[in-house]
Amino acid sequence: MTKKWCRVVFLALLGLMSTFAGAEVDVLPLNSADLRETALESIPPWPEEMVLSGTNQHWQKVLHEGEFVVALYEAMPAVIDIAEPYPYDEYVRVLEGSVVLTSSGGERQSYEAGDAFLVPVGWTGTWEMPTRFRELIIVDRKGWEAVESMIATLFGADSESRRGQTSVLPLLTSSLKRAPLEDLPPWPQEVVLSGASKHGQKVLHSGNVVAALYGAEAARLSVGEPFPYDEYVLVLSGEVTLTSNSGESQTFGTGDSFLVPKGWTGIWDMPGRYLEKIVVETAAWNAAEG
């Protein structure tokens, strides 16, 4: 029987062939306008049996490698057959174009520029890009690197026995803004330089990565202890200014995204009510959050 490559396994293999970006010391801006203009590197075509229609041409660039990998991916219009189950969670933010995901169970979901979603472990179906398509993806680093073991696991087992259908998780800003949060204990007094010590959280997904909402009242916080993990952030409402201990200051508003690297210290300033969506590698989250 011919063995088919899973889309994400193929991407991971290509990622291992490229040179990873070094660990960032400061916050890494991930603004959509800049990401749409970033030059990517051509990567080998898909295996022919995966391409149901369209042009077999695509590009990639790794932006960060830490506890998870942050990368850009772009493709020409095509319909890709994902016959083998996804081996890990993949967070996606659409930067350009649109994509239609149709699961093997028949569930159809469409996303366009500005939308975000999470493809869970075990998903199968078709990935249709009707026009030129670009996305920002976040993948668990261990999953990204473990190409050989993933291939052995996926292709050494009966694929039908692994095909427990899971659904793509929409992470659309309009609905996330309305999601109720659970109150968190107040910050320690020494952390709050000014403002309120009231904040909340809601975990949306926990698999290879944790996707969560975090909201807070206006406050200025001292991050004196090194950040315990890499944290991808998409600002859903409000504004935040991050000033590192080295003096570099960066401000992000609604719709902006950035990555706070493990080990970062500085001032986290939210001048008004603030809401963000975050993605963190699960083992690191569990170790830090208990």
Provide the domain limits for residue 84: 7-172
Which residue, 144, 172, 200, sits at the end of a domain?
A: 172
In terms of domains, do 162 and 180 share one?
no
What is residue 7's predicted lDDT score, i.e. its pLDDT?
52
Number of domains making up the chain: 2
In terms of domains, do 261 and 142 share one?
no
Do 35 and 136 meet the contact criterion of CB atoms below 8 Å apart? yes
In terms of domains, do 105 and 36 share one?
yes
Per-residue pLDDT of the chain (290 residues; tens, 9 = 90+): 333 444 544 454 444 444 444 444 689 999 999 999 999 999 889 889 999 999 999 999 999 999 999 999 999 999 999 998 887 899 999 999 999 999 999 999 999 999 999 999 889 999 999 999 999 999 998 877 764 344 334 333 333 333 344 689 999 889 999 999 999 999 999 999 999 999 999 999 999 899 999 999 999 999 999 999 999 999 999 999 999 999 999 999 999 999 999 999 999 999 999 999 999 999 999 999 86
pTM of this structure: 0.85
Do 279 and 91 meet the contact criterion of CB atoms below 8 Å apart? yes
DSSP 218-236: SEEEEE-SPPSS-EEEEEE
Please name every residue paired with 65 in a beta bridge, in sequence order, or none if there are none. 69
- Report the CATH number that the domain containing residue 37 is assigned in CATH: 2.60.120.10
Q: Does any domain span residue 97?
A: yes
Region at 44 (left for phi over 0; alpha for psi -120 to 50; beta for the rest): beta
Three-state DSSP class for residue 152: helix
In terms of domains, do 284 and 195 share one?
yes
Written as six digits, the tokens of 4 are 């088919």
What is residue 144's predicted lDDT score, i.e. its pLDDT?
78
